[in-house]
Structure formats: structure tokens, C-alpha cells
Amino acid sequence: MQSVRQESLILEEQNSSKPVRTLTKSVHALAIEPLNQALTVTGRKAYNVMLFIAQRTVPDKDGWYSSPVSAILKGYGSSTKASERLQRYIEQMVQTAVVWRPLAATEELSSIQGDNAPELPGFGDDGLQPDPSLSPSPIGRKGARATGQGTEISDEARTFTLLAESRVWTQYGEAWVKWVFPPSIREQLVTPDVYAQIELNSIALLRTYTSVALYEICARFKSSPAGLTSRKPPKFWMQVLREGGGAKPREWRKVKHELIMPAIEDINSVTELQIDLIENRLGNTVHSVQFAVKRKAKDTRKPAETVDVASVLCAAKHGIRETDYDALTDKYGEFKVTECLAAMQAHLTNPASQKIVNKLAYLKAVLVNRYPDQMAELSLQEQGSNGTAQSATDPKTQDGLIKQWLAARYKQLSSEFAALSDVEREPWIVKASQRVGTPAIRRRLDNRDWMSPLVNHLVLDAYASGTYGETWKIPAALDLAVFKDLQSK
């Protein structure tokens, strides 16, 4: 069953005119220290995409999530040729034990209670001195309380792997992966109460593990009034920002120059964040470290070459192969394919609708009927021939704005037409049937199934042309100005 938060995420994407690629990641899962082996930058990126998919899909009865491998690869901007490597990274997620480090004292066990709470080692309120009531062990203790005879441990030390188990198999001729999170932390990962907003497009552009780890932690504080992360000892940052955690101790000054400063430069150059290192010193010794975080005033980033993961996943679950999906997006553009996929999905969930036998053929038919006079925007070719060209679906461009206006207009017309009686709808359906000759379309019109994605736009076109005139699809400058103003609010 979907949670309220999952339903709101799905509804947000269905009502959005552009793909949503923001991961809501639990604050407890941001600062993690690998214990038994190093994590890789690609493995961490893939894990974020898998969380993103899990938050938007429903697990099976045993709590397993599934996705085509290609959807995960495309989610962080990788080539599908890296399929075998990704499978190794997923195996690594099952084998790597990690400690969840709290970023603030208020986040220690704030949302994870009971016998299944993760071991979060305690720090004092200033984030520097260990809390005497908790074990100073690098693994930490799940719970402890002070007594007259010292510290009494109430439960054993506890660590977690990123995944509890994973499996890979072939379906529809493609590699699929299914995974399950550790049961005791699954809810915090899939439906977090307190979370940071992680932009997957930004993650895709970062080059090192340290860059990704630091970006995720700083994203937690990008809306903070103070614009500062918590103050932590240098040892803490070396544990959570290095691929191998704190397994091999090193001097702070070396880690700073070799990993931290290049990561800051990486984040500042390609993401929406601007961060700066702050070292707090006692004499010549660095006593604590924190980062200043703010959003850039103007986003001048190069767009990441990622795709709408939800659309790739939806297509795959309907048996549409990756090669066929890619061919459609190359021809029509991702926005149009996503829109028609959503229409097909709505048709499939309607119990009164006819069964679709060949879903790929149906999707192609919907695209052809919705966009009969338009050749697809070959966005990759356009960007290759003109480095400054923007995507045709970019709302900042005139073409993108018109597309969004037209999509909103169709929604309005659909509501208008649905409010008519059967008698009032009849002449418009008859008029639409005079424009087509394919048996499948005629059959749906004869059955008065005007809501079918295959004929919906044909019927609405006939209705709008007769009611508002043949130029109803052409917005006036005032229409666009009003629409743009409403979109910005």
C-alpha cells in the first residue's frame, strides 16, 4: 500500500509539466561511514536513484522493489553499457556495513525508535564532545544509560548494510534488479519524516565520492537561515566524506587539500549550491570544521544528461523495451512520451476501458494521433549542433511555454467536455469520427469511449474548433503572459 507521502510524490509528478528529479533523503542517511569496505561514487549515485524509485513505486508483499537496470543507469546519467558494473555496485550495497552519523544532536534517534533503532554514536550538544551516557565506540551503541556504577549498555552495538538483499534476472529481454532494504530502517528510507532535498541532476554531474557525500550533507542545510552545517571535529568529516570512511586514519590537512577542496570546487561549479569551508582553530590546531551553504542567486549549470526515471520504469513495467523507449524519445522528445505514457496508464487503470493487447503499438498510436503535424524534437542533435540551444520543453523558452499552455488547455477542455451530457457530447464525437479511418480509432468512437488516449485529443480538437474557432490552439501574447505569471506563483 502506498503511503500518503508516496501518493503526494506521484501526484506531483503527474501534475508537473517537467520531470521531477528531487530525492527526499532521510537526514539520518546523509552522513554515513563505510566500515568493512570502501564505497564508490557510482555506487552511491545508484543507491540514490534506487531510493528515488522506491519512493515512487509500490513494493511486493514481501517488501521488494524492482526496476530495469537501464532505469537506474539513466537516472544518474550513465550509459546502459555499464550494466554489468552496476550489478557489481548493487552487490557491494548488500555487503557494505555502514554507520549512520547524526548531523545534529536533535537528529540522534529522533525518528527511529524501538528495538530496531540504528546505532547512532552520540555527540554532545556542541557536536564536539562525546556524550558520556553513550559508548565512544566508533560503531556506537543503540542505547545506553548512566548509572552509579558507570554506563550500562541497554542493547548490543548495531550496524546496517545499505541493502538487505538483491537479485538480478532477465525480463522482456532486459536485465532487471530487485532489492529489499533492511526492515528496521526501510520506513525512514522510503517515507522519511525529516529529509534533505537531493537534486539527482546535480548528483549526476559530480565526479568524486567526496563531492557527492559533501553535496548531500550540505543540501540538508541549504534552506537553513544560518546557512551553516553543524560544527564537527575533523575526524568526523574524514569518516563520512571518504570512500573508505575512517578505516585508514590520515592527517586533516592532507585530506583537506587532496579531497575536500577539490570537492568544494566541483560542487560550486556544477550544482545549485555554493559552499565554503570554515575551520575553527585553537592556536594552530583545527578544533572543528563546518561548511557555509547557500543557493546560487542564478542557476547557470550545464544540464545533466539524465532522463525521467519514473517514465523509464513505467515503460519497462508495461513491457516496452529500452531500445523502443529510446527510439520514441529520440523522435518525439521525452516530454511527449511521458505525457502519452501517463495517458495510457490512466486508460489501463480505468475498469471500463478496453484491454490493450500491444502496449507499444498503442503508445505509438497515441503519439501519432496527438502530434500528427509535428516532427519530433531531436533534442540531442539540436544540442550537438548548437551548444547554447535550450530544450524545446524548457519553460524558459517560448516554444516550451506554448507547449505547457497547450497541455493546460487540453486539461481544461477535458473537464469542460466531461461536464456535458451524453446528448451534448454526441455531435462532437460524430464530427471527430469523420476525420479518421483506422479501425481501432473508429471502434472506440463508435463505443463513445472518448476518454481513451487513442481518441481523446481528436474529440477535444473537434469540440474546441467548433466552440472556440479553428485557431484555439494558437495562444495570444496575453494568454502566454497570464499563463507564465500563474506558473511562477
Alpha-carbon dihedral angle through residues 397, 401, 407, 410, given to the nearest 10 degrees: -140
Query: Tens of pLDDT along 345-360?
Result: 777 777 666 677 778 8
Give the strands of the sheet with 65-68, arranged side by side: 65-68, 174-180, 165-171
Query: Tens of pLDDT along 256-286?
Result: 999 999 999 999 999 999 999 999 999 889 9
Domains and CATH numbers, the chain: 4-100+161-295 (1.10.10.10), 318-487 (no CATH)
- Return the ∠ at Cα 129 (arms to 124 and 130), rounded to 5°: 70
What pLDDT does 467 receive?
A: 84
Does position 448 have pLDDT exceeding 50, yes or no?
A: yes
Alpha-helical regions (H) of 371-455: 379-385, 398-419, 422-433, 439-446
3-state SS of the chain: helix, strand, coil percent to 5? 45, 15, 40
Answer for the pair 290, 229: CB distance below 8 angstroms, yes or no.
yes
Contacts of 30 (CB under 8 A, 6+ apart): 103, 196, 216, 217, 219, 220
What's the mean per-residue pLDDT of the chain?
75
Q: What is the DSSP letter of 107?
A: G
- DSSP, collapsed to helix, strand or coil, labels residue 131 as coil
Q: Which one, of 276, 245, 230, lies nearest residue 102 by Cα?
A: 230
Q: What is the mean pLDDT of residues 231-241?
A: 94
What pLDDT does 354 receive?
A: 66
Answer for the pair 450, 417: CB distance below 8 angstroms, yes or no.
yes
Q: Residue 273 forms beta bridges with which residues?
A: 295
Give the strands of the sheet with 32-34, arranged side by side: 32-34, 97-100, 160-161
What pLDDT does 440 receive?
A: 73
How sure is the predictor about 481, in pLDDT bands with cuts at 50, 70 and 90? low
Answer for the pair 132, 199: CB distance below 8 angstroms, yes or no.
no
CA distance readout (Å), 222 to 218, 266, 377: 6, 17, 35
Query: Tens of pLDDT along 407-426?
Result: 888 888 888 888 888 888 88
Query: Tens of pLDDT along 315-331?
Result: 777 778 767 777 787 77
Grid cell of 237 as nine digits: 568529516
How sure is the predictor about 154, in pLDDT bands with cuts at 50, 70 and 90? very low
Most confident among 69-73, 273-277, 453-457 (mean pLDDT): 273-277
- DSSP, collapsed to helix, strand or coil, labels residue 274 as strand
